[in-house]
Structure 1
Amino acid sequence: MYIAELFIENFRSFGVGDQAFKLTLTPGLTALVGENDAGKTAVVDALRYVLGTRDQEQLRVDEADFHRSSGGTPADQMTIKLVFRGLTNTDRSAFAEFLTFEEIDGAKNVSLVLTWSAKRLAAGASRRAASPEWRTGAKADGPLLDFGARSLLTATYLRPLRDAERAMSAGRGSRLSQILQHTKEIKETGVAFDHRTVPTPDPKTLSVLGLGDFANHLFRESQGIKKAGDKLNDEYLKPLSFAKDLLRARIEVSGSRDETVRLRQLLEKLDLTLAASAGDDSAHTRGLGSNNLLFMACELLLLAAESDGFPLLLIEEPEAHLHPQRQLRLMAFLQDQAAKVRTDGQQIQIIVTTHSPSIASDLHLDNIVLVEGGRGFPLRKGMTKLDNSDYSFLERFLDSTKSNLFFARGVMIVEGDAENILMPVLARLLKRDFSEYGVSVINVGGVGLGRYARIFMRADPASDGQISTPVACVTDLDVMPNCAPVIVGKIKAGEDIPTRPPSKRQWRVKSEFTAAELRERRQTRIDKASGQNVRTFVAGEWTLEYDLAHSGLSQEVWQAAVLALADEDIQAGKVTKKDAIEARGAEFLGLGALELEAKASHVYALFETEGASKAIGAQYLAELLEHAIESGSMGVDELRSKLPSYVLEAIAYVTAPIPVTPTAAGPSTTAPE
């Protein structure tokens, strides 16, 4: 049995209608990802309210749990509905009078539909909310789910920033004792102790309860305890007794006559700690992360061993106290545990919330639900615009640096190191700091831009809704001006451009396109990764470096390329940045008489023909622009006027509109949102 559908209405951040939370789930592992306050914890808490938890924590509905509308008025009633499917024969027997028969894809199916609701009481009432109800039936018109049946649905819950060491320590009601008491190994291994048995059985053959009874017998037979008891009885209690009412004391280990209670009391005396190594009995101190793993291992031990009850594990932030490599090991382990079948034919359903890019990168997309704006968006096949090849590609290449996209308020997908370095710097200089707007830049390295973008595109947005996160894809046009092939060394002066086909050349020039064909090429690139809230921004001319030089930053791009060529000598202290620039300053001055396209092509040739690193050049360009703004030699408005329009538009789309400098052609406007 597993939770197949979840519906939450008027609970905390979730409203009604389109604002209600709806989510379909699959067996196995589900990870809820997203930024803070998206609603991940609210989903987990909703499940805890309906199901209860095995740590016996008492949850009480508070007025703050009722959703408040935009006008600030709290809702009168909140509702949480769960649909359980995949019921075993044991489940059907246990919930026989509460079951619902439904038709799915033309086939009859048995499910358990449970609707939990709580009403807010009027102001001045002694309690904030009325006692909740657990109703069954497709329309909550079935019988109330009684306490006995509800106890079969309790979930195991691991809270964020949990104190694992305390939970595994000895003490009354310890979580360790609760876990061990219900394990098959504790309940069924060994035999009871009977002091009348001769000879005394080998302690290794005794059950845990038998060991406790044996220890109690040994205490009673101890000469020291016997002598203390005799002295207490003969010298103190006898003088206080009546002739026919003799007071006699018996010293023994405390414990109930009830075997279940006595077993629990024994287990409450146990600690669970981590050893330094196998067979090492010495004390060994472990950190919070290792104890956290120990705690989760114990909870899974119980869930995997049970033959009854609902196998649901809720973990908030499993990455707590764990370094990235441990996080990866943990998630691989959890996915394996969720795939195993218990002796009762059921699998453990695991729902986790996480803010860890490392964890998100290690999960299958089928297991991820993006929680955004109070809505849940499963990323499994059939729910997104991704096709099968996209899923295979992303399983291999969606690493921890790229999985930041699951936690961002805005995403910019770029195809190279230069864009990855420059875009955040340009945004900050334009007063659109990506860190302030929660924007992540994802460098896909020239491949797969559309694949990453389609993560955010829903297969059926009409019914499923759209992910509102703005996603900007930035790409080159890859069509060079007619003068560029000679300047960047593609052909020699006087040579004709090789024809296509049958030529295998990959580069193209403007002369090969009509104006309409060039517009079509641009639109094709836009359409390849655009839709819903994903937009593609294509370079106006050729590449980022060329477009920056073409739009007004030719001197800065030239200097950055020169510094990139001299980088090793600069880092070795053989030459200063100033000297490196001045050594080739005359070359740049010689470009002044050239037309704009030729001048920009000569600047770009430093990368294309002389081998200047685009990444290192981007670092130096960022440094030059930052210095220019900080020193006042260039103002923000001037920088804005010198940037390509597609760069401004992409930054504005993931942050906020950017004012455009007034020109002679018209008044000031803003780059589109």
Structure 2
Amino acid sequence: MFISELRIENFRGYGEGSDALTLPLSAGLTALVGENDSGKTSIIDALRLALGTRDQESFRVDDGDFHHPAGGGERRTEIRIRCKFEGLTAGDKAAFAEHLSYEDKGTAKSVVLYLNWKAIASVAGSRNRRFTTIETRSGAAGDGPPFDQGARTLLCSTYLRPLRDAERAMSAGRGSRLSQILQHTREIKDNGTPYDPAQNPPVDPRALTVLGIGDFANELLKTHVGVNSARENLNDRYLAPLSFAGSKLQGRISVSGARGEDATRLRLLLEKLDLELRDESLPDTPANRGLGSNNLLFMACELLLLGAEADGFPVLLIEEPEAHLHPQRQLRLVQFLQQKANELRDDGQKIQIIITTHSTQLASAIALENLVLLHGRKAFPLSSTRTKLEKTDYAFLSRFLDVTKANLFFARGLLIVEGDAENILLPTIAKLIGRDLTENGVSLVNVGGVGLRRFARIYLRKEPLSDSVIGIPVACVTDLDVMPDCAPEIIGKVKPGDAWPLTKDRKWRAVKDFTTPQLAEKKAGIKGKASEQNVETFVADHWTLEYDLAFCGLAKDVWVAASLAENDDKINAGKIKSRDVIREALKSFVAFEASAATPEELATRVYGLVLDVSKPTVAQYLAALLEQRRSSRTPGGLVSVLPSYIVSAITHVTTIPGAAPPAGAGAGA
């Protein structure tokens, strides 16, 4: 059995009607990702309220949990949370027989279970005292019979809070979580034989049950000389003088839990145990009590219980499992969670694990199909039935969606680029034109020239009308890769005066290979691969980023940056000063500019120098030069000499989609 759908109404940021949350879930592992305040914790807390938790920790509804609509509407007075369970086993059907629903699924009937949890806020008494009534009923519309306490107990979840005190939970003490876990494990309940007072001492004390060990220890203590002496001293010298005639006070020393019901005795004994982590290669060193290691120990124990139980609903809710773990530990953890979610218990069920995370390590390691992106108080599962990703896209992204790219799941805007130059330059350009990417919560993802549209399609919904559109603006920045007609000879594609090879025999293209309509069609085709909903592709106006920067008005800056990159090793070795390189570059550019017959030739010759050195190094120097000229060039002045597609792309992700670009920017591509 697993939760296949969760619906939340009027709980915190989630409203009702179209503002309610409907979240489809699958068996196995599900990770909720998204920026802060996107509603991840509210989902976990809704499940805690509806299902209850095994630790029996008190979790009450307060006034702030009732939804307060934006715009000044009155706070709602009724929270509704509905869980739909599918994949019921024979044992589940028997346990919840009176609560089951039967739904059409093709030609057959599907047996499902609905749990409807409702909190109703009321005001009573002359002092307007508020109180909350809780109802839990079955049925798709909440019109079935109420769940009794026994049925509710079978649905309890295991919950691990984000800032959990794992050391306290695993330490000895009253009500310790370790004792609760051990008490219900099969290993504790099913192993050993009871202690027999007639056979004292037992043949092998190690073969006793935990209760048997307690009873045997109690028998040893009763006959211990030191314990008996202390007891007699206490009774004769201290309690006897305090007693009344005919009512003599007597002290008795025994192991805690020596009397009473077996379940109580077992709990009291287990509360004396604690669990420590040690390095097996260093057994005599002090226990390892680091926060991260204790977290792993805590999660391992909870999964031990969930995997070994013979009844109950196996669901584990973890907020931020990455807490206190270094990156490699995080990767090991997610591998472990996925493994446990795929294992069958003895009752034929699998553990359903739902986590929230802000970790790019976890987000990159979990299968894309198992992620749910939260944004704007809406949930967007990234499964193949919901996105426009193809099967091949999922296979590709499983290989290339690494830690650095996984920051896209936590962004308020996304800029996808194809190279290091864009990755280095665009943040600087955005800041200089007054649209700082960091201030706007924009992530920049460099896909390295492969799969740009595959990454963009993560944000495209297959059914946007019914499923909503993800409100995160995404800009894909790509080259046109059509060089001016003067370029092949300048950059050495052909020798001066030679005929060009046929187009079928070369990979490069120039302007004269296209008619004007054909060139427009090529650009439209590139844009059309990922330009819908809130995803937009911005194509270079002419050729590549560096060429377009030089062509539009930054030829001198790009030339100087390329000259610095050409001398980078000498500059870093102290053999030459950067100011001397800049001085010579400015001199050569004056002569160079005068000799260029057209703007296309000038820009091509500048780009030719870039091609002869390292593009990322050129970008680093160019970013520094633009920063240095910040005081002498206004944002509007910089915009006027930038390629329009770059300005439009930055504008798209730093404002709401469709906003007009800053004054001076072109129409964009």
CA contact (8 A) 1:238 1:246 kept: yes
1:372-408 residue CA offsets vs partner (Å, 9 max, x unmatched): 1111111111211010110000000000000100000
Match of 2:384 among 381, 385, 389: 381
Alignment-derived partner of residue 605 in structure 2: 602
Distance 1:619 1:370, change over 3 A: same
Match of 1:439 among 438, 442, 456: 442
Unmatched runs of 5 consecutive residues or more in structure 2:
none
Structure 2: which amino acid aligns with 1:39?
Answer: G
**CA distance, structure 1, for counterparts of residue 215 and residue 442 of structure 2:** 64
Match of 2:271 among 243, 268, 285: 268
CA contact (8 A) 1:62 1:129 kept: no
Distance 1:659 1:468, change over 3 A: closer
Distance 1:552 1:266, change over 3 A: same
Alignment of 1:192-271 (within 5 A): 192-233=194-235, 248-255=250-257, 256-271=259-274
Alignment of 1:138-537 (within 5 A): 138-233=140-235, 248-255=250-257, 256-277=259-280, 280-501=283-504, 503=505, 505-537=506-538
**More off after superposition, 407-416 vs 67-76:** 67-76
Alignment-derived partner of residue 640 in structure 1: 639
1:585-616 residue CA offsets vs partner (Å, 9 max, x unmatched): 443222323211111011001123xx211101
Structure 1: which amino acid aligns with 2:646?
Answer: V
Structure 2: which amino acid aligns with 1:254?
Answer: S
CA contact (8 A) 1:155 1:311 kept: yes
**CA distance, structure 2, for counterparts of residue 186 and residue 382 of structure 1:** 44
Alignment of 1:94-133 (within 5 A): 94-122=95-123, 128-133=130-135
Structure 1: which amino acid aligns with 2:422?
Answer: E
Alignment of 1:137 with 2:139, yes or no, is yes
Displacement of 1:207: 1.0
CA contact (8 A) 2:538 2:668 kept: no
**CA distance, structure 1, for counterparts of residue 253 and residue 600 of structure 2:** 101
**CA distance, structure 2, for counterparts of residue 586 and residue 226 of structure 1:** 102
Distance 1:637 1:197, change over 3 A: same
TM-score, scaled to structure 2: 0.96
Displacement of 1:658: 6.9
Alignment-derived partner of residue 563 in structure 1: 564
User: Secondary structure of 2:228's match?
Assistant: helix
Distance 1:129 1:555, change over 3 A: farther
Displacement of 1:126: 6.3
User: Secondary structure of 2:580's match?
Assistant: helix
Distance 1:659 1:195, change over 3 A: same
**CA distance, structure 2, for counterparts of residue 123 and residue 68 of structure 1:** 21
Alignment of 1:551 with 2:555, yes or no, is no
Unmatched runs of 5 consecutive residues or more in structure 1:
663-668
Aligned length: 661
CA contact (8 A) 1:6 1:83 kept: yes
**CA distance, structure 2, for counterparts of residue 587 and residue 512 of structure 1:** 33
Distance 1:238 1:15, change over 3 A: closer
Structure 1: which amino acid aligns with 2:150?
Answer: G
User: Secondary structure of 2:212's match?
Assistant: helix
Alignment-derived partner of residue 89 in structure 1: 90
**CA distance, structure 2, for counterparts of residue 205 and residue 492 of structure 1:** 90
**CA distance, structure 1, for counterparts of residue 668 and residue 479 of structure 2:** 19
Alignment of 1:37 with 2:40, yes or no, is no
Alignment of 1:644-659 (within 5 A): 644-656=643-655
- Share of identical aligned residues, percent? 56
**CA distance, structure 2, for counterparts of residue 515 and residue 222 of structure 1:** 103
1:257-286 residue CA offsets vs partner (Å, 9 max, x unmatched): 111111101111111111132682542233
Alignment-derived partner of residue 4 in structure 1: 4
**CA distance, structure 2, for counterparts of residue 441 and residue 642 of structure 1:** 23
Alignment-derived partner of residue 541 in structure 2: 540
Aligned CA RMSD, in angstroms, stands at: 1.9
**CA distance, structure 2, for counterparts of residue 499 and residue 316 of structure 1:** 60
CA contact (8 A) 1:29 1:338 kept: yes
Displacement of 1:231: 4.4
Displacement of 1:659: 5.7
TM-score, scaled to structure 1: 0.95
Displacement of 1:539: 0.4
Displacement of 1:139: 1.3
Displacement of 1:131: 1.8
